[in-house]
Amino acid sequence: MKNDEKDLFVKAGRLRSFGRTSSRLTTQDQEKLDNKLAPYRLNAEDAGKIKFENKLIVEIGMGNGACLANRAQNEPENQFIGCEVYKNGLNTLVNTLNQQNTQNFKICHDDARDLLENLPENSVDELIVLYPDPWPKNKQKKRRIVNEELLNLGDRILKDDGILFIATDIPDYMMWILREVYTHNTFFPTAISPEEWATAPTWWHSTKYEQKAIKQGRKPWYMTFKKNVDKSNTKCDPLV
């Protein structure tokens, strides 16, 4: 393996799906942030130990967590875990959670795939991925987080009828997602026509990345899939 390819792997066989994990943070800033994060923090390896009541909603690659934090405030009866490796955005998130006095939110600052590996089987109601890194160049596409491994992890942790929700603004990634999901054959779209994918769900709160995409003239797609449902009623298969 070439030297520059070594950094591509976070562990054997697992590609690095993210870019930077922090920027311009001094050691002091990092310490301050770690202290602020502490009350909300959930380490990936501890995810199997916690008991959840009501619904559990997990978002991976949440950036500054704007959408999930808003939802947590509107749904105090449910539990939320947001996961992100990029440290800088977590400062804004913790400020928001503190202002809202949010009690039903945990932050995992680890690789999302480690979190999903450790969550108990059949424990999650919704798994959410908003604007995953597009890795647009052909040689980078293998780093896209929506792939067979993620779908296997989602299949294990989601309850029957659990939801996999993915938003993207990149047409090529949308087709990639559909191919991955349909090939996996565990999750099926709830939409009865592709137009539904242009409409945000009721709980939606726009994210930083979405704002940037819209400003640059790109169109968001919101795709909801359900685990193990009868797919015979869907006409929403642009691949056939």
Between 72 and 236, CB nearer to ligand SAM: 72
Beta strands 56-60; 79-83: pairing state: parallel
Q: Which strands form 187-189's sheet, in the order they lie side by side?
A: 105-108, 79-83, 56-60, 124-130, 158-168, 221-227, 187-189
Give residue number: closest CB to ligand SAM.
61
Of 85-144, which residues contact ligand SAM (CB under 6 A)?
A: 85-86, 111-113, 130-133
Distance in Å, CB of 183 to ligand SAM, minimum: 21
At which residue do the structure tokens 């491994």 appear? 149
Q: Is 133 a catalytic residue?
A: yes
Residues that bind ligand SAM (rule: CB under 6 A) add up to a total of: 22
CA-to-CA dists, residue 90 to 34, 46, 96, 193, angstroms: 10, 20, 10, 36
Angle between helices 88-100 and 27-37 (to 10 degrees): 40
Of 208-237, which residues contact ligand SAM (CB under 6 A)?
A: 208-210
Residue of 133, 161, 172, 230 with catalytic role: 133
Question: Which pair of structure tokens corresponds to residue 26?
Answer: 């001094």
Between 176 and 188, CB nearer to ligand SAM: 176
Between 111 and 126, CB nearer to ligand SAM: 111
Verify binding: residue 189, ligand SAM, rule CB under 6 A: no
Of 48-67, which residues contact ligand SAM (CB under 6 A)?
A: 60-63
For 23, other C-beta atoms within 10 Å of its C-beta total 9
What is the rounded CA–CA span in Å between residue 140 and residue 59?
Answer: 23
Verify binding: residue 145, ligand SAM, rule CB under 6 A: yes
What is the rounded CA–CA span in Å between residue 190 and residue 195?
Answer: 12
Between 14 and 49, CB nearer to ligand SAM: 14
Distance in Å, CB of 208 to ligand SAM, minimum: 4
Which range of residues in 44-52, 91-99, 202-210, 230-238 is near ligand SAM by CB under 6 A? 202-210
Judge whether 154 and 187 are in contact, CB under 8 Å.
yes
Catalytic residues: 133
Judged by the rule CB under 6 A, the positions of this chain that interact with ligand SAM are: 17-18, 60-63, 83-86, 111-113, 130-133, 145, 207-210
